[in-house]
A and B are shown apart, each in its own frame.
Chain A
Amino acid sequence: MSAARFPHLLRAELRLILRERLTWAILAALVAALCLAASTGAGRVAAERGALAQAAADGARVVHEARAAHERYGRPAPIKVNYWQDPTDAFGYMTYFMAAHAVKPPTPLAVLAAGQSDVQPAVMRVGFGYSTVFDDTAYEPGSAAKLRLGPFDLAFVLVYLVPLAVIALAGTRLSSEQDRGILRLIASQPIGPRRVAGAKFGAVALVAVAGVLGGTALALLVSGGLGSLDGWNGTLALLVMALAAYVAVWVAACTVVASFWRGAVAALAILVLAWVCVTVALPTALALAVDALSPVPSRIAAIDASRRAQAHFYTGAEGSRITAAWLAGTVPEAARRPDLVEAPEIKRLARDAFYDTALAGYRDAARAHALAGAAWGRRLAVLSPATILGLALETAAGTDAGRHAAFLSAGAAYRRDLSAFFEPRILAQALEPRPVCDGCPARLDFDAYDAVPSFAPSLPRAAAERQTLMALGSLMAGALLLAAVAHRRLAEWPA
């Protein structure tokens, strides 16, 4: 009698698994969850794309209306147009009309993970008619692990529910045979436990990987959330492999637990405990560690500083003194024009510059915290299979904390670009007003609408590929390590 050939064993185990009603029930529930999650993601992506389109439309409408105002105000009229009503004036346009946006467009794989996008905006209005302490208008971002418990997206299903499905499929293999007494008959055949476990868990891994990947593909197809990949095929392929490796990690964990020979109930208890540790406790601990390594700067202190700066500027003649100093420093030749100090646009520019200086330290600290938090999050994610896969999905979806931190910095830089564009024009007009036609109601000193800098959005393809590759490597290493432990432990059948 020859030794059992592994492909034959694998086929036999596959037949066994596919004959079980429980297998189909688990796969059906998983596919339903994936479809529901994909529709959540698709809805979010659609809303985000809609917001971006709306922002672009707003920008175009404002320019169109400003040009119409130019034509209208270029003719003498008996009315008087104030600067805050005048889009033909550089200061008026910059402060009250311009609809400039810093945008964070969804990536082609955005349907995969909501990440921080449900609390972090993808579009930021960048303007000068109002003042904010921080680059964004959101509240505390919080940790991705905590946020993920909110949106029922694909990342939630893949990171949290897929392990449960794998445990349901594989967690009692061998141990249920042990409980039912079948193991004794299996063990009495001329075959070792390693080959039997290899076939049993190999078959369940094939079923689980096919179920997860097939279910995800079906869910994406049905939801229609996955757009044109446009160069993201590589990232998607890596993600597919990382997902398969994630499933393999959990199947390998089931194999290790089966090697304890403690029966089905104990095996399930151990595996559920492992699931809690890996998907909930460890990510939460890592999030706390990130907070400890990169402490959150106090927003209250920043808001307080903002109020102090405001109070200072508007106390007595302090505003005029600050404006005069700013003007002298910015345009030395303005010294011969003391009247400019009280010009609203000059006072506003000086005030904004004063606020910026007063709050620079707080803003820098907030940006540094966001970047450092994202960096620590990336470093520590490797310690848990759940966090490393979750981060890979978020990075591919473009909804990760790192991208958002970079987006905030880019938004702040964009604001500075806009300021640098308008400020010389406003100052030039203040120093030497451009003549307009007799009786024309507006200033008509600005029509370079097309020259206004636009925001250059970025799609983090390279970062996504890098992160997914990192996840794939870590998960494969984890699966191999667990498989090696199981192989070592499964040397003999239990007596």
Chain B
Amino acid sequence: MLAIRGATKRFGDRPALDGLDLSLRRGEVFALLGPNGAGKTTTVNLILGFLKADAGSVRVCGIDAGTDPIGARRHVAYIPEQVALYPGLSGVENLRYFATLAGLDLAKETAVALLAEAGLGREAHRRPAGSYSKGMRQKVGIAVALARQARLLLLDEPTSGLDPSAAADFSVTVRAAADRGTAILMATHDLYRVREMADRVGVLSRGRIVEEIAPRTLDHVGLERLYMERLAGGAA
């Protein structure tokens, strides 16, 4: 689904990514852990084709995201940290709008079904999105991904700012998507959810993955300790 080989990206003198290698299989949930400035957003931007790598390659379902970003994005759905929607449109209308951008002509009934599948309560479907909480907006984002049947889902800090109940709901939804075969790359700081959702965790420091862990082999405390040690090692 995703193959990043030796991706390097510099902004002036500052390296954002330094020979990043990362691959993701169908139905796999990979969490990219790292402090601010570690290169998580740059990685996401490379996958979406918003940036081109200075060296190395980023391929989504075999398509080079650097040379054919639109082709690569056909297989990627992205849910940013803050899902922003058109506040005057309802959830259904927002979903249909974004589906149109993706080249889909979504019937109203289909949109309603997708929102329900993403976990957005039916009473909210026709309300203006301006009244939605962050969790509800994220569910619309999930519905967009479901509508597009994307093979790779990119999540940028998906649980930050969510209350525990909404975060738990979100975890369930993401796991369900993975079970349906969607590969999921999640950039996050949330060690608790990482342990709950991810199959693999990559600790990103200074543009490189310095450790790859199977999180379920550790408890929360162990995971946090390992993470801090690896960051300290990467910074050394």
A-to-B contact residues, CB < 8 Å: 1-5, 8-9, 12, 15-16, 19-21, 180-182, 184-192, 196, 492-495
Among A21, A188, A189: residue with most chain B CB under 10 A: A188
**Contact A180 B84, beta carbon cutoff 8 Å:** yes
Q: What are the 9 tightest A-B residue pairs by CB atom distance, in nearest-first order?
A: A181-B84, A188-B78, A189-B101, A190-B74, A190-B73, A4-B103, A12-B100, A495-B50, A182-B84
Among B69, B73, B88: residue with most chain A CB under 10 A: B73
Near A by CB (< 8 A), chain B positions 21-72 give 45, 48, 50-51, 69-71
> How many Å from the CB of A150 to the closest CB on chain B?
40
Residues in B neighbouring A189, C-beta threshold 8 A: 73, 98, 101-102, 148
**Contact A185 B80, beta carbon cutoff 8 Å:** yes
List 6 A-B residue pairs with CB atoms under 8 Å apart, sorted by A's residue number: A1-B103, A3-B103, A187-B48, A188-B48, A188-B154, A190-B71
Residues in B neighbouring A196, C-beta threshold 8 A: 101
> How many Å from the CB of B136 to the closest CB on chain A?
15
For residue A493, which residue of chain B has the nearest CB? Answer: B50
Residues in B neighbouring A2, C-beta threshold 8 A: 103
Return the CB mask of B105-145 against A: 1 if under 8 Å, else 0: 10000000000000000000000000000000000010010
**From DSSP, what is the main secondary structure of chain B's interface residues?**
mixed
Residues in B neighbouring A8, C-beta threshold 8 A: 100, 105
Determine if B83 is an interface residue (Cβ-Cβ < 8 Å).
yes
CB < 8 Å neighbour of A1 from B45, B88, B148: B148
Determine if B89 is an interface residue (Cβ-Cβ < 8 Å).
yes
> How many Å from the CB of A193 to the closest CB on chain B?
10
Among B96, B101, B141: residue with most chain A CB under 10 A: B101
**Contact A494 B50, beta carbon cutoff 8 Å:** yes
> How many Å from the CB of A194 to the closest CB on chain B?
11
**Contact B141 A185, beta carbon cutoff 8 Å:** yes
Kindly state the separation between the CA atoms of A4 and B105 in the bound complex, as whole angstroms. Answer: 9
B-to-A contact residues, CB < 8 Å: 45, 48, 50-51, 69-71, 73-74, 76-78, 80, 82-86, 88-89, 93, 96-98, 100-105, 141, 144, 148-149, 154
Residues in B neighbouring A19, C-beta threshold 8 A: 88-89, 93
**Contact A185 B144, beta carbon cutoff 8 Å:** yes
**Contact B103 A16, beta carbon cutoff 8 Å:** no
**Contact A181 B80, beta carbon cutoff 8 Å:** yes
**Contact A190 B98, beta carbon cutoff 8 Å:** no
Residues in A neighbouring B84, C-beta threshold 8 A: 180-182, 184-185
**Contact A191 B102, beta carbon cutoff 8 Å:** yes
Among B71, B77, B84: residue with most chain A CB under 10 A: B84
Residues in A neighbouring B82, C-beta threshold 8 A: 181
**Contact A495 B45, beta carbon cutoff 8 Å:** yes
> How many Å from the CB of B106 to the closest CB on chain A?
11
Kindly state the separation between the CA atoms of A5 and B74 in the bound complex, as whole angstroms. Answer: 15
Kindly state the separation between the CA atoms of A5 and B98 in the bound complex, as whole angstroms. Answer: 13
Among B51, B74, B80, B100: residue with most chain A CB under 10 A: B100
Kindly state the separation between the CA atoms of A4 and B106 in the bound complex, as whole angstroms. Answer: 12
Kindly state the separation between the CA atoms of A4 and B96 in the bound complex, as whole angstroms. Answer: 12
**Contact B88 A20, beta carbon cutoff 8 Å:** yes
CB < 8 Å neighbour of B85 from A15, A20, A182, A188: A182
Residues in B neighbouring A180, C-beta threshold 8 A: 84
Residues in A neighbouring B74, C-beta threshold 8 A: 1, 190
For residue A19, which residue of chain B has the nearest CB? Answer: B88
**Contact A185 B70, beta carbon cutoff 8 Å:** no
Kindly state the separation between the CA atoms of A252 and B101 in the bound complex, as whole angstroms. Answer: 22
**Contact B100 A9, beta carbon cutoff 8 Å:** yes
> How many Å from the CB of A222 to the closest CB on chain B?
31
For residue A12, which residue of chain B has the nearest CB? Answer: B100
Kindly state the separation between the CA atoms of A186 and B45 in the bound complex, as whole angstroms. Answer: 14
Asked whether A4 and B80 contact (CB < 8 A) given A189-B73, A494-B50, the answer is: no
> How many Å from the CB of B18 to the closest CB on chain A?
18
Inter-chain pairs besides A185-B141, A188-B76, A189-B148, 14 sampled, C-beta below 8 Å: A1-B104, A1-B148, A4-B103, A8-B100, A9-B100, A12-B96, A12-B97, A21-B88, A182-B85, A185-B84, A186-B98, A188-B48, A188-B77, A495-B45
